[in-house]
């Protein structure tokens, strides 16, 4: 892993640095490039704009590192309010939600996380939309897949995320490529040890292509989450080779990253879903985006320096 990425990801977990950055007078514009806002109304307004431009959306209420049931409840209520509002505004056929199980209790009580996830899935069903469970660091993978299996017994449309940097992922892909499954494939955003994850970018990319092929060959609905132009091209070629028409898989990208490419793919007839984070807890999310791309870090530091 490149040293800058390691450093920023370490900073993302460091409490002192977290407090310093989170309280710095960061311009709203800097955060707003990647985060839709802090309130439900702001998140829904951004969703409306994206949908009007031909894109679809998945919304993430930012609330990681939840350490007690009260915080978890706060996150659940935020999702319930969001789902109600998406439904009321006629957006729920174009916008779903992404949930980090750590935000609803996974770190201290897996049963509570499952119960909370069930409430969110029931609300999504009532709103006429779907839920995808985000994937976090490798220590949570088994627990997340266990919760996914439970949820899918009632709501078979619940989606999972698999990360191509993990050695185990092709096996997980094969287990989840059947009919009805909705898998988002990404490279992975956490700092992981070499015992469990590929460290070289080229190995992560090769694994991505192997997993993408397996998903395209299966009967599920794959969701390819990457901004990497080479992978987007390969996905297009492989989808064609597997006889997959636009609409039988989708491209996903993050809010604020390669917006022109998002529109270009949508104009070609592809389903493109934009991952839109919102909420007050933007720090960890923003740090992972900084780690991925030095240009993002420079943009952020410049904005801080010019305050």
Q: Which CB sits closer to ligand FAD, 23 or 143?
A: 143
Told to check if 123 binds ligand FAD by CB under 6 A, we report no
Which listed residue (104, 254, 276, 290) binds ligand FAD by CB under 6 A?
254
Told to check if 130 binds ligand FAD by CB under 6 A, we report no
Give the annotated binding-site residues for FAD.
135, 163, 187-189, 226-227
- Kindly calculate the radius of gyration of the chain based on its CA atoms and give it in whole angstroms: 18
CB of 50 to ligand FAD, least distance (A): 13
Q: Which CB sits closer to ligand FAD, 87 or 184?
A: 184
Contact window for ligand FAD (CB under 6 A) among 109-117, 142-150, 213-221, 252-260: 252-260
Active site (annotated) includes residue 68: no
Told to check if 134 binds ligand FAD by CB under 6 A, we report yes
CB of 275 to ligand FAD, least distance (A): 4
Active site (annotated) includes residue 134: yes
Any residues with CB less than 8 A from the CB of 277 and at least 6 apart, and which?
Answer: 34, 35, 36, 59, 60, 61, 62, 255, 285
For the chain, what is the HEC assignment? CCHHHHHHHHHHHCHHHHHHHHHCCCCHHHHHHHCCCCCHHHHHHHHHHHHHCCCEEEEEECCCCCCCHHHHHHHHHHHHHHHHHHHHCCCCCCEEEEECHHHHCCCCCHHHHHHHHHHHHHHHHHHCCCEEECCCCHHHHHHHHHHHHHHHHHCCCCEEEEECCECCHHHHHHHCCCCCCEEEEECCCCCCCCCCECCCHHHHHHHHHHHHHHHHHCCCEEEEECCCHHHHHHHHHHHHHCCCCCCCCEEEEECCCCHHHHHHHHHCCCEEEEEEEECCCCHHHHHHHHHHCHHHHHHHHHHHHCC
Q: Which of 61, 59, 72 is nearest to 38 (CA)?
A: 61
x/- site string to ligand FAD, residues 256 to 285, per CB under 6 A?
-xx----------------x----------
Q: Which CB sits closer to ligand FAD, 70 or 237?
A: 237
Which listed residue (147, 225, 234, 239) binds ligand FAD by CB under 6 A?
225
Told to check if 190 binds ligand FAD by CB under 6 A, we report yes
Contact window for ligand FAD (CB under 6 A) among 113-121, 213-221, 238-246, 289-297: 289-297
Told to check if 141 binds ligand FAD by CB under 6 A, we report no
- On the CB side of 257, CA atoms within 13 Å amount to 22
CB of 106 to ligand FAD, least distance (A): 13
CB of 257 to ligand FAD, least distance (A): 4
Which listed residue (163, 169, 181, 271) binds ligand FAD by CB under 6 A?
163
Give the annotated binding-site residues.
100, 135, 163, 187-189, 226-227, 288-289
Which listed residue (97, 148, 166, 186) binds ligand FAD by CB under 6 A?
186
Q: Catalytic site residues?
A: 134, 184
Per CB under 6 A, residues contacting ligand FAD are: 134-135, 161, 163, 184, 186-190, 225-229, 252-254, 257-258, 275, 292-293, 296
């Amino acid at each position: 892993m490149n040293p800058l990425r390691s450093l920023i990801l370490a900073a993302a977990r460091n409490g002192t640095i977290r407090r310093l950055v989170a309280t710095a007078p960061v311009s709203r514009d800097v955060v707003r490039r990647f985060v839709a806002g802090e309130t439900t109304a702001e998140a829904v307004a951004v969703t409306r704009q994206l949908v009007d431009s031909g894109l679809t959306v998945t919304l993430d209420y930012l609330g990681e590192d939840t350490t007690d049931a009260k915080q978890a409840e706060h996150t659940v209520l935020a999702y319930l309010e969001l789902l109600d509002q998406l439904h009321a505004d006629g957006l729920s056929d174009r916008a779903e939600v992404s949930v980090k199980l750590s935000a609803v209790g996974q770190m201290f009580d897996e049963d509570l996380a499952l119960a909370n996830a069930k409430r969110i899935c029931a609300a999504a069903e009532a709103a006429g939309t779907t839920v995808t469970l985000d994937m976090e660091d490798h220590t949570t993978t088994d627990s997340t897949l266990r919760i996914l299996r439970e949820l899918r017994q009632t709501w078979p449309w619940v989606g999972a995320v698999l990360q191509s940097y993990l050695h185990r992922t092709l096996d997980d892909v094969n287990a989840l490529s059947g009919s009805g499954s909705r898998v988002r494939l990404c490279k992975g955003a956490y700092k992981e040890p070499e015992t469990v994850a590929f460290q070289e970018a080229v190995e992560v990319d090769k694994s991505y292509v192997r997993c993408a092929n397996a998903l395209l060959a299966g009967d599920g609905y794959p969701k390819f989450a990457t901004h990497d132009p080479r992978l987007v091209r390969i996905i297009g070629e492989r989808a064609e080779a597997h006889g997959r028409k636009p609409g039988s898989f989708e491209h996903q990208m993050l809010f604020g990253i390669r917006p022109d490419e998002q529109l270009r793919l949508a104009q070609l007839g592809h389903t493109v879903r934009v991952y839109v984070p919102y909420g007050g807890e933007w720090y960890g999310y923003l740090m992972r985006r900084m780690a991925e791309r030095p240009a993002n870090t420079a943009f952020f530091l410049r904005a801080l320096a010019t305050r």
